[in-house]
Structure 1
Amino acid sequence: MEFTAENLEKAVCLFYRSEAAQQAEAHQWLTEAQNSPQAWSFVWELLHPQRTSEVQFFAATTLHNKILKAWDEVPQEHYENLKKRILDAIVNFAMGPKIVLNRLCITLSAYIIHTVPHHWPKAFEELVSSFQPQYLPNVEPERVIWILLEILTVIPEEFESTTLATSQRHRVKSVLQEVSKDILKVVEMCLVPIPNANFDMSNITTYLHSSRCAAAWIQLGGVTIDDCSRVMNLLVDLTCFVYWNRSDPECMSAEEMELIEVTLEALTAVVQHPHTTKYPGYVMKHTTNILDKFNKILNNEKASAELNKDIMTSIYLLIETIGDTHCKLFVSSLRSNEETDRKIANDLFGCILGCTDLPGTYPVDETSSTVTFGFWYTLQEDILSLDTAQCAELLLIIKPYYRQLTCVMLRKSMFPSSEEASNWTLDDKEMFRCYRQDISDTFMYCYNVLNIEMLDILIVQLQDALTKCVINSNNWNLVESVLHAFSSVAECIELENLFLPKLMHILKTIPYDDLHVKVLSSCLECVGSYSEWLADHPNMLCKVVPLVITGLTNPEVSPAATMALKDLTHNCQKFLLPYAEEILIACQNGLQGGNLKLSECVRIMYSVGKVLSIVPVANTMQYLNVILAPSFEEIQSLLSQPESDAVAVRLATRLKILSALFGSLHVVPLDADEENSMPPQNIEQPLLLVVQNTMSLYTIIGSKYHTNTEVIEVLALLLKQTLTTLMDDAKPLVNDILTLVVRIYRETPQPSILVVARTAMILFGKEPEYIATMQHLLAEIITTSLTLIAQLNSTNNLSEKTDLIEGFFLLLAQIFKKVAVLIANGGVDCSALFQCATVCLGMNELAAIKACTSFLVNFITHSRETGQAAVVQNYGEALVMRVLLCLGSAPRASADVLADILLALNKKYCDNFARWLQGLLQQEGFPSPRVNAQQKEHFVKAVLREKANKRKLSETVTEFTLLCRGILTSA
């Protein structure tokens, strides 16, 4: 259908007033119309006043889209006419519809970005002078100012979103930064209150757009806090005026609320700009002004019956931003000889602490305290980075804040009572969970400042909380909060022998049965967190291991119990022999109870493997027979049943549990890691016996369920875990595993099997007795994969097997990198592999492109030592051609990846590469008609110059990619 105004109008109406199927069809056709060269003509017809607002909006959007993405289609001699028509359109739509006017203002902004400074050098001067009320008598003065501010506001936004050549971007940004002071003067004129009458709330729309405009230009970076000083004072005064003079003292209107939020955002944009750090005097002056005036608002809100959470959050965010951005300044002020400077810093820290300490529970009672966490990190980080003497002096000054902060966060992290929690929504609960994680991080910052003094605070708080629980068990939440704090700081603590032994003793004595179950859960998390410390203090294990064992049979705390057990068995393995029998019995009961989730069963089985690795080998098999028997009996039962989705899920579940055991069961003498100790040889590994005795089951699974991806993925994980756990001890299994891998892959190629093959080849590929077997395996995999990829390529369906192609080439890349001996004399058709990878570079999936690139880079890098130099010389030109073509069609992010290939060729085959690159780019219109000969020549020189600097080459390739696609035009 022809792109005529009438057809487009019908299509737009169809898009807004039809069913989903017709809508999609209309959308596709309208998108084609927008991208067509005819769009430059039909937009003006569609902007006719008699058209509907939907059609006019489509036209304005199309015009903006063309300027943004197809600017190179506009001849320079048409620039002036295009500008005139856009300005005329803005004037014609000055009174609305607003949605069309807004889009036209954005369009003019995009035009300005493309034409300054060369084609419209006085754009801003002319813009400000043109949009004055006296020159547009038919338009309301307030609307004229609105239009000017709207155009000015979106210019910085358009600059950030417009793709420009690097040199042009620098020029445009330089111009924008030069005029930013003048733009702020325009904003200042709009914000200045009426003489002797203060601000006029009838101008609230102008104030709103002025504030937005100020924020946009300040963020661009062309002005300093000195330049913004007058505007900042006006914004502070305007915020206070609107707050104290709102139309309804009980409830602020939406327009008033929006204006306050925008003014505060503009102030935040100023104070967080990097340039402000160069003007400490102004920062201190404005901080004083902001604290003096906004603290009155905060205090008024705290005293009111109904908190305005949005205003409080916005004000506190501004104050926190001041503290966070200029923390070093305020830290140095703490040591100042000037009492005024010290007072400002202490007032700021006190205000931020007051925000953290807001009454109520986040997020149901207050929503502001979360903004302060970043400041408490920055404050301690800036102080700890100073030299020892300064650091020690300042730590003494700020410790009171962090002591108070610790106590505040213990309160803020307390769970609500059961009655209160029943009224919480799922969103509330999730936000509180995230909030507690932020508090957990902040506890670590407190520990960095307070060190063991914090542990003293926590121990005292825990003892007090337990005393309160004796009186009333409803005080459990403070006990839980303190245990949460102890868990949070665990990773910060190294050698500590005073407070942590007290903690372990207290953990043993807490009356868990009388308190909420969350207390026991947090206790178990705490035990797991201190597993490394317990490894250095094994005498304390007797106080906590019984708690963990008890938790395994309690479904309400089993997640925490299984995690704690996993941590203990991982970090304290060699000290757990006295508890081995109790742990194994509890694990067995937990597994047989049927109340545990899959993840918990997996963690338990991992722990079982760790514990069985330290008991006498003779006993290990007895325990294994008891613990594993149910799993293997169920697997045998499932394999005797007809195939179904339900059976496959149960089978995959059992294999996951087994793979956890296979990943941890490796018998090592307890003294094997001690100095001067020689581990005895020929240890009979129980895992080896288990896998040997059950290999027939895995073979049946592979044969019966080779088409079920989930089952095979878990089976592959089990086999991989077996290899990586046993390492050299796995040699008796290698042939069986490889046979199974080849059989499954031949039947149904899938990436998880390739991971097993890769693991086996890397571990044993250099062993003389396995080289022949490995080469046979590799040949089978290559033959099967190449056949499949050729079939997919013939039907243009490579994307259907992205994961497989990615896994295949990752396997080959590792082989060339680590076990190239399997390629040499292995009968592998390397030419076919090279050509296949070259073809697959044309895929749209970035992960597959990365894998192919990794293979090709390793192939090229090791080609001479593997005897494959002829392959690169014969097919290298085709590879370079493919890479150049991909630069114009593959995902844009792939340009950085493909640069690796060019770098490898330039390093290893520089003469050939230079000849191929120059020859290909001499072709007219290749790889894109948008790139001229001069740009190609520049690209060739830049590429050939880089033989080591990947970053510079990536920049060159990315820029050439954008040129090929027409996204970037020559400066």
Structure 2
Amino acid sequence: MVPTTESPAPEFDDQAFIPASDSLQELLTASSLCDGSGTKTVTEPLLLWLDRYGGPIVQASIDAGFADDISHSLCKLLVALGDHSAMYFAKNIAAPAQVKPIASPVPLPSPLPALSHLVQNFLKLLLQYTALPGYYGVDEEESEMTLGFWYLFQEALWNVDYAFDAGEDGEAGNEAEERDRDMMPVAKAVYSELVTIVRRKVVWPPRTVLNGWNREQRDKFQAYYVLRDDMLAFYVTDLLQRLSARQEQDGWEVRVPFPLRYHLSIVPQEIEGTLHCVMAVQEAVPIEDSPHLRQVFGPEILGRLPKAGDERVRRTALHLIGKLSNNCCSYASWFTTQPAQVPESATPSPLMSAITFVVAALPHPALCLFAANALRDLCDANRTALAPHIAAFGELHAGLTGIPDTEKAKVLQSIASVIQALPPVEEIPPVEAIASPVVAKLFEALQSASQLPDEARAMAVQQLETLTGVARGLTRVTDSLLALDDSPEVQAAIGDMNRAREDERVLKLREAILSAIRGTVELWSTDASVCDALSDLFKAITALPSDVTLISLPPGPLLELVCLAAQRQLTAVWLSLATMLAIQLNPPALIVTTFKPEPSPEAAEIALNVLQVLLQTSLSAFAQPGVMISNPDIVQAFFGCVESFIHHFLPIFYRLPAGLFDGLVQCAIGALSLQERYSLTSASTFLSSLITRTATNDDLAAAKASLAQTHGFQIMRAILFGFAGVAPRSAMPNLIELLSTMITRYPLESKQWISEILFADDFYPCRATPEAKNKFIKTVFGTRSLKRTREAAQQFTLVARGLEGSAFGYATVSM
């Protein structure tokens, strides 16, 4: 029975607390109550206990300046309870009703406390842990533990519905309305306190303190993610106040003691901390039209940040302008919503203010990386708005002498993004100006390779990466959806680009780029770092007709280089590039039609020559013992490559030398017994595509018959052996798909093949009886349903492997 008068509280047992806390955490997170149920039996009794004992424990930690083992365990218990009961707390944050738990761990006071008091006390305890003095990762670790709850609680506040408490009782309905009305002021007060705390906790210490931290501590001290668009106004106001206070200070290098409490400070670290908070909320802030962001990127805030010195403040501002390190959404795209710069305006637009701030940081060694990243993101997102300022970007290019090559590549990509917004003919001079020096340096690396091989190779990689950045910048990434647009405007734009590509200067530039790439492949195609750089460049510098740029290279010469590199060292990189370039050889039409257009005779001849080289190279490598087993990435890339050729150039397979084509099919049949799933499935997909496309092409009727006569029996044998136990269970869906293809395209032959194979003396040893084999044949050929075929094949697989009736067999039947 619950007592109705207050009794003396029992003594706190510190030895029993931690085991009890651990058990309660387990109950709240990993039991049948973990879904938020049990509020009367768990939540409310714990709230009563926390009301009696929680405050003194937390206060002791605040007084001591750290959390001991008991306090740390209490924090974990609070977090577990918060995750468990977030909706309950949101519902009762302003509830006047008294708590009435089924049981209580402490004697209850009289009168009983209101639910709102207990909930608000719980929130107060969590806020105190969030606000623990000191630096996270150095002095304490509890504050970070609480942050997840504040997200969860906020979601609960948005989603809670008090109306369900009213029922048919009008008085209860009125109470629900009052609670709904009273909830928001309390919630806003809690979150106002929270963001004040978080802003203070993210501030980096002065250098005198920071110099004493080891690298692990520096890495662990990260800015906290904070909450939603309502918080942005708080941080902007804070920045304005602190920047106004700084007007009385001289310079940005003033260092004063770092405050641990709440009073307003004007040291640079405090401003940097608030900037970090603004950066952290960008995911949730609606950016269509925000007066707060106009203040951030205007003269009031960005215009008053330092243009020299104090790397931390400037670095955070650069992060704020561009992307975060985890590539989440950024404010860089916000500038696209703002009006363009008015030429006669004395006040720069937010975009130009940001560009000016970023460019000023490029020469600074400690800031160059961050400035280059921010500039790249700004230019990529705001190409059209920046195009009228192309002359200024030309000046920027001329002044890049002091910037490291690694960052110069990003700056050139930024400039190329702006160039792309110009009419094609106007692109020619600036493209030539930024690309020609890069190509010249690549030739320089090739010429010095014999004297300084390591330095030359590193220089070549850097120039390839720079050229990749330029190619990416020139690509119309935002216009990719127009690839199938046949409107007059799009057609006119394509025509303008094609005419500009025929300019003598552009022709010479592309010829030089291709020559430099050829020299690189001939010299370093077996080097992993060069291969990766070439792969990225090939992907960036080739394009479908609708996306072609001034420096886009045709696929034919690049395929020739891919073949050369593959002959020297067969890798998945070269095979994947061949797959991509095969599509470029036979690109989709601008207007979607029922029938895919046939490739040109020139493209078909190139594809045939490339296919022969790749087949000879790959099949020779795969013929070596163990190569296909130990190189599943190459096997998968190889069959993916030849399947791509099937989709675009099917007839050329039947123009291959007979031995080469037969070797390809036999290689695929052999791969159906590989234990590595991706190798097997890629071979199975290749065979399905080859059979289906050959059988459905009226011009290849003779080839269809020859394929069945020469290889049909062996393909079916490999499928059935795979069912019986040769292939891994995870590949069964692919083998079933191949079986269905064979039965559909060669029904009479398949029935004969299956019977001969299943009842042959050399069939793979398995548990399938003659009755099971006959049942499989009868079911498969008694229906034309793919579903029934799949079910029959799955059942036969279970029987053959002795898994029929087992829980494991049926649980994994669809793997």
Please list the CA deviations of residues 933-961 of structure 1 after superposition, one character each: whole Å capped at 9, or x if unmatched: 69988997999799469999999899899
Deviation at 1:371, TM superposition (A): 1.4
**Distance in 2 of aligned mates of 1:384 and 1:865:** 57
Q: Which residue of 1 aligns with 2:442?
A: 635
Aligned: 1:746 with 2:567 = yes
Q: How does 1:742-821 map to 2 (within 5 A)?
A: 742-765=563-586, 768=598, 770-774=600-604, 776-778=606-608, 780-781=610-611, 784-785=614-615, 788-816=618-646, 818-819=647-648, 821=650
**Distance in 2 of aligned mates of 1:281 and 1:943:** 58
Deviation at 1:269, TM superposition (A): 1.3
Q: Unaligned 5+ residue runs, structure 2?
A: 1-8, 99-113, 164-176, 256-266, 323-329, 341-348, 588-596, 811-815
Please list the CA deviations of residues 66-98 of structure 1 after superposition, one character each: whole Å capped at 9, or x if unmatched: xxxxxxxxxxxxxxxxxxxxxxxxxxxxxxxxx
**Distance in 2 of aligned mates of 1:282 and 1:387:** 23
Q: Which residue of 1 aligns with 2:326?
A: none
Aligned: 1:530 with 2:331 = yes
Please list the CA deviations of residues 383-432 of structure 1 after superposition, one character each: whole Å capped at 9, or x if unmatched: 43457999986555422222222221111111121111111111111211
Q: Which residue of 2 aligns with 1:275?
A: 32
Match of 2:363 among 553, 557, 580: 553
**Distance in 2 of aligned mates of 1:355 and 1:510:** 35
- Does the C-alpha gap of structure 1 residues 571 and 780 become closer, same or farther in structure 2, counting only changes over 3 Å? closer
Q: Which residue of 2 aligns with 1:521?
A: 315
- Does the C-alpha gap of structure 1 residues 923 and 347 become closer, same or farther in structure 2, counting only changes over 3 Å? farther
**Distance in 2 of aligned mates of 1:750 and 1:563:** 32
Contact 2:672 2:684 in 1 (8 A): yes
Q: Which residue of 2 aligns with 1:329?
A: 88
Deviation at 1:364, TM superposition (A): 0.8
Aligned: 1:576 with 2:386 = yes
Contact 2:643 2:686 in 1 (8 A): yes
Q: State which drifts further: 936-945 or 786-795.
A: 936-945
- Does the C-alpha gap of structure 1 residues 777 and 582 become closer, same or farther in structure 2, counting only changes over 3 Å? same
**Distance in 2 of aligned mates of 1:265 and 1:650:** 57
**Distance in 2 of aligned mates of 1:778 and 1:701:** 25
- Does the C-alpha gap of structure 1 residues 497 and 330 become closer, same or farther in structure 2, counting only changes over 3 Å? closer
What letter corresponds to residue 879 of structure 1 in structure 2? Answer: A
Contact 1:712 1:752 in 2 (8 A): yes
Contact 1:284 1:344 in 2 (8 A): no
**Distance in 2 of aligned mates of 1:558 and 1:429:** 21
Deviation at 1:532, TM superposition (A): 1.5
Please list the CA deviations of residues 697-735 of structure 1 after superposition, one character each: whole Å capped at 9, or x if unmatched: 222222233333432332233233111276564797333
Q: How does 1:139-288 map to 2 (within 5 A)?
A: 240-241=12-13, 243=14, 261-273=18-30, 275-276=32-33, 277-288=36-47
- Does the C-alpha gap of structure 1 residues 563 and 706 become closer, same or farther in structure 2, counting only changes over 3 Å? closer
Please list the CA deviations of residues 876-904 of structure 1 after superposition, one character each: whole Å capped at 9, or x if unmatched: 3233145347767x5xxxx4344233245
Q: How does 1:417-456 map to 2 (within 5 A)?
A: 417-433=206-222, 436=223, 439-440=224-225, 443=226, 446-447=227-228, 451=229, 453-456=230-233
Q: Unaligned 5+ residue runs, structure 1?
A: 1-235, 247-258
Q: Which residue of 2 aligns with 1:656?
A: 465
Q: How does 1:321-720 map to 2 (within 5 A)?
A: 321-334=80-93, 336=95, 338-339=97-98, 340-385=114-159, 395=184, 397-433=186-222, 436=223, 439-440=224-225, 443=226, 446-447=227-228, 451=229, 453-470=230-247, 473-474=254-255, 475-492=267-284, 493-505=286-298, 506-513=300-307, 516-528=310-322, 529-537=330-338, 538=340, 539-590=349-400, 592-596=401-405, 598=406, 600-615=407-422, 617=424, 620-643=427-450, 644-666=453-475, 677=489, 679-680=492-493, 681-683=495-497, 684-685=500-501, 690-720=509-539
- Does the C-alpha gap of structure 1 residues 669 and 957 become closer, same or farther in structure 2, counting only changes over 3 Å? closer
**Distance in 1 of aligned mates of 2:509 and 2:246:** 50
Deviation at 1:661, TM superposition (A): 0.7
- Does the C-alpha gap of structure 1 residues 306 and 524 become closer, same or farther in structure 2, counting only changes over 3 Å? closer
What letter corresponds to residue 833 of structure 1 in structure 2? Answer: L
**Distance in 2 of aligned mates of 1:316 and 1:934:** 67
**Distance in 1 of aligned mates of 2:203 and 2:602:** 64
Q: How many residues align?
A: 697
**Distance in 1 of aligned mates of 2:804 and 2:421:** 63
Q: How does 1:820-969 map to 2 (within 5 A)?
A: 821=650, 825-827=654-656, 831-843=662-674, 845-856=676-687, 858-859=689-690, 862=693, 864-865=695-696, 870-871=707-708, 873-881=712-720, 883-884=722-723, 895-906=729-740, 909=743, 947=786
**Distance in 1 of aligned mates of 2:530 and 2:24:** 57
Contact 2:768 2:796 in 1 (8 A): no
Deviation at 1:776, TM superposition (A): 4.3
Contact 1:903 1:950 in 2 (8 A): no
**Distance in 1 of aligned mates of 2:275 and 2:232:** 11
**Distance in 1 of aligned mates of 2:95 and 2:779:** 55
- Does the C-alpha gap of structure 1 residues 966 and 668 become closer, same or farther in structure 2, counting only changes over 3 Å? closer
What letter corresponds to residue 455 of structure 1 in structure 2? Answer: L
- Does the C-alpha gap of structure 1 residues 874 and 432 become closer, same or farther in structure 2, counting only changes over 3 Å? same
Contact 1:962 1:968 in 2 (8 A): no
CA RMSD in angstroms comes to 4.5
Q: Which residue of 2 aligns with 1:42?
A: none
**Distance in 1 of aligned mates of 2:434 and 2:525:** 28
Match of 2:77 among 318, 340, 344: 318
- What is the SS of the residue equivalent to 2:297? helix
Contact 1:607 1:664 in 2 (8 A): yes
Contact 1:928 1:964 in 2 (8 A): no
- Does the C-alpha gap of structure 1 residues 957 and 608 become closer, same or farther in structure 2, counting only changes over 3 Å? farther
- What is the SS of the residue equivalent to 2:404? coil
What letter corresponds to residue 606 of structure 1 in structure 2? Answer: Q
**Distance in 2 of aligned mates of 1:810 and 1:274:** 47
- What is the SS of the residue equivalent to 2:542? helix
- What is the SS of the residue equivalent to 2:570? coil
Please list the CA deviations of residues 273-313 of structure 1 after superposition, one character each: whole Å capped at 9, or x if unmatched: 36213433213334325524651563254155363444433
- Does the C-alpha gap of structure 1 residues 268 and 735 become closer, same or farther in structure 2, counting only changes over 3 Å? same
Higher helix share: 1
What letter corresponds to residue 401 of structure 1 in structure 2? Answer: V
Deviation at 1:486, TM superposition (A): 1.8
Q: Which residue of 2 aligns with 1:98?
A: none
Contact 1:605 1:660 in 2 (8 A): yes
Contact 1:548 1:564 in 2 (8 A): yes
Contact 1:723 1:759 in 2 (8 A): no
Contact 1:606 1:664 in 2 (8 A): yes
- Does the C-alpha gap of structure 1 residues 513 and 896 become closer, same or farther in structure 2, counting only changes over 3 Å? same
**Distance in 2 of aligned mates of 1:377 and 1:717:** 39
Deviation at 1:964, TM superposition (A): 7.5
- Does the C-alpha gap of structure 1 residues 952 and 325 become closer, same or farther in structure 2, counting only changes over 3 Å? farther
Contact 2:803 2:809 in 1 (8 A): no
Contact 2:713 2:753 in 1 (8 A): no
Aligned: 1:734 with 2:522 = no
**Distance in 2 of aligned mates of 1:362 and 1:794:** 57
- Does the C-alpha gap of structure 1 residues 614 and 285 become closer, same or farther in structure 2, counting only changes over 3 Å? closer
Q: Which residue of 2 aligns with 1:150?
A: none
